[in-house]
Structure 1
Amino acid sequence: MTSAPTATTTAALPTALADAATAAGLTVLARAGWDPAERPGGPPNLPGFTASSFGPLFAHVADRCLTAFHGTAPAPPEDGRDTGLVLVSRLGDMATETAVTGSVDRGTKASPLLFYQSVPSAVLGVVSARWGLGGPVICISPAGDPWAEGLELAGLLAEDGSARDVLVVLVELGVDEGEPDSAEALLVRAAAAAPGAEGVAE
């Protein structure tokens, strides 16, 4: 977990994120992102995950975002039981896929952890357990705009009563040499039910 949260307003959100949240009928309660310059060695290690930064990145920004709104884990039961998780990634965990296929190609024994973490929802389960979240857990690979589709799904979950709050996390690993990994999380709630203040962990 990380720096203490500070207050912000919707004006602090990038226009594209604010517009996508508004279009989905959502208010942003908290926001957190990954800054490669903050930790040049990568995100903090996550027990049970190896050979890829995908799971640790998800957990890192998810923890920061939830901390910004709830403080320390777990979330209050009345909040946690109605919070869902949505992972958004166009390409998914390419590093784990590469590690598994590389072991197969070489005829060597792959770490059992690689098979566990090759299921995208594995890291969502870790975060859900840590924070006591009882809402739906969903992973999507959008063809269109990742934030627009992720927030639209969050809005549908709130609309049909599946969750009151939804943590939407966008994770993409760098594809080209020198391209940094990226990760950002938004905790959202249906606009009609949202409080007036927001938290942020940049």
Structure 2
Amino acid sequence: MIDTLTERLLVSEALVVPSGFTAGATTVEPAEPGRVPGFVESAFSPLIKAVVDRCLADVTGGETFGEEGARTGLVLATLFGDTVTADLGSKLLTSGRVANPLLFYQSVPTTILGVVARDYAITGPTTCVALRGDLRGEALDLVDMILDDGMDQVLLIGIDLATESRPLSAHAQLTDAGPHTDAVRVDTAVAFLIRRADSSPGTEPAAVAPVADQHLADFGSLAGLVQLYFTVRAERAAAAAGAVAVNVGSALGERELRLLLREP
């Protein structure tokens, strides 16, 4: 049962899959993220930088947010985090070799968000969360709370890397869980820039984004966010887009989040 309705403006969105991917009738063109100075070995940070740059390209024109940066929040949502860096660091540790400080994986998410914040002059709150299951509901719920807390806009980034057996086995042991079914099978990053839409009159949604479908199984924990991206892109292409409805929920209850695709 839906308790409340929230409306926000979805300004822009982006999806980066380096290897390319076909989901049903939809083909994702491959994108090759560039290197980010100060980060090594893993695709985690380059993927984040690439998807943010693509998401904000038409919003900022490659420049900073300026004064808007102080009213902008950053949210990074992931299931496993940077598994490549964690795996390499742990192998060095168990072998007795000196660890490379660049492989201190706990610092990677906040450090790459620091790079993003620097490049776009974002000085609002920064939040990194590791969530279980499909990330979409809780990630959008967190974005909604940050907007309610006074921010004008939030840049949401969802990311996970294709996870091999060793990190999966370690995760299962640490969490006392069985085989993990939410691991992604292809490196994926997706981003959304979401703003407040306080003056909206209550737009009826043109489309409802399902959590995921069978064609998106390889996106694992990101399937819901990738599904949202595909739904939004289809609505924008139709040139008559009004809003896309998403059901989100937390301990505070279930509600419908309507993402407006044009200014109210």
Whether TM-score is above 0.5 comes out as: yes
Higher share in strand: 2
Instruction: Provide closer, same or farther for how the CA distance between residues 193 and 158 of structure 1 changes in structure 2, counting only shifts above 3 A.
Output: farther
Tell me, yes or no, if structure 1 residue 69 matches structure 2 residue 59. Answer: yes
Deviation at 1:107, TM superposition (A): 1.6
Per the alignment, residue 101 of structure 1 pairs with 90
**TM (normalized to structure 2)?**
0.60
Instruction: Provide closer, same or farther for how the CA distance between residues 174 and 116 of structure 1 changes in structure 2, counting only shifts above 3 A.
Output: closer
Could you say what secondary structure the match of 1:68 adopts? helix
Which amino acid letter does the alignment assign opposite residue 49 of structure 1? Answer: F
Structure 1 residues not aligned, in runs of 5+: 1-21
2:15 to 21, 33, 58: 33
Which amino acid letter does the alignment assign opposite residue 155 of structure 2? Answer: L
Aligned length: 174
In structure 2, distance between residues paired with 1:141 and 1:62: 19
Per the alignment, residue 170 of structure 1 pairs with 158
Instruction: Provide closer, same or farther for how the CA distance between residues 119 and 44 of structure 1 changes in structure 2, counting only shifts above 3 A.
Output: closer
Structure 2 residues not aligned, in runs of 5+: 21-28, 166-183, 201-259
Q: Which has the larger radius of gyration?
A: 2
In structure 2, distance between residues paired with 1:126 and 1:68: 19
Tell which has more relative contact order, 1 or 2 (C-alpha 8 A, sep 6+): 1
Deviations 1:10-57 (A, max 9, x none): xxxxxxxxxxxx9653221000110323557x4211111011111111
Q: RMSD of the alignment, in Å?
A: 2.5
**TM (normalized to structure 1)?**
0.77
Deviations 1:51-99 (A, max 9, x none): 1111111111011112221211212x22212111000001111111101
1:24·1:152 contact (CA, 8 Å) conserved in 2? no
Instruction: Provide closer, same or farther for how the CA distance between residues 45 and 39 of structure 1 changes in structure 2, counting only shifts above 3 A.
Output: farther
Per the alignment, residue 110 of structure 2 pairs with 121
Instruction: Provide closer, same or farther for how the CA distance between residues 23 and 65 of structure 1 changes in structure 2, counting only shifts above 3 A.
Output: farther
1:154 to 136, 143, 150: 143
